Chains A and B, each alone.
Chain A
Amino acid sequence: QSVLTQPPSASGTPGQRVSLSCSGSSSNIGSNYVYWYQQLPGTAPKLLIYRNNQRPSGVPDRFSGSKSGTSASLAISGLRSEDEADYYCVAKDDSLSGPWVFGGGTKLTVL
Chain B
Amino acid sequence: EVQLVESGGGLVQPGGSLKLSCVASGFTFSASSMHWVRQASGKGLEWVGRIRSKPNGYATAYGASVKGRFTISRDDSKNTAYLQMNSLKTEDTAVYYCTSDYSVLFDYWGQGNLVTVSS
* A 37-51 binary contact with B (CB < 8 Å = 1; else 0): 101000011110011
Please give the number of chain B residues whose Cβ is less than 8 angstroms from any Cβ of chain A in the complex. 19
Interface residue stretch chosen among A19-27, A71-79, A101-109: A101-109
CB distance from A31 to the nearest CB of B (A): 15
**Taking A45-B109, A47-B104 as contacts, is the C-beta distance between A99 and B61 under 8 angstroms?**
yes
CB-contact partner of B44 in A2, A33, A44, A46, under 8 A: A2
* B 89-119 binary contact with A (CB < 8 Å = 1; else 0): 0000000010100001111011110000000
CB-based nearest A residue for B110? A44
Residues 79-102 (chain A) with a chain B CB within 8 angstroms: 86, 88, 90, 96-102
B46 at the A interface (CB under 8 A): yes
A50 touches B109 (CB 8 A): no
A56 at the B interface (CB under 8 A): yes
A103 touches B44 (CB 8 A): yes
A35 at the B interface (CB under 8 A): yes
CB-based nearest B residue for A2? B44
**Taking A88-B44, A102-B45, A102-B47 as contacts, is the C-beta distance between A44 and B105 under 8 angstroms?**
no
Which residues of B does A touch, CB under 8 Å? 35, 37, 44-47, 50, 61, 64, 97, 99, 104-107, 109-112
Cβ contacts A to B, 7 pairs, < 8 Å: A37-B106, A39-B45, A44-B112, A45-B106, A56-B104, A90-B47, A97-B64
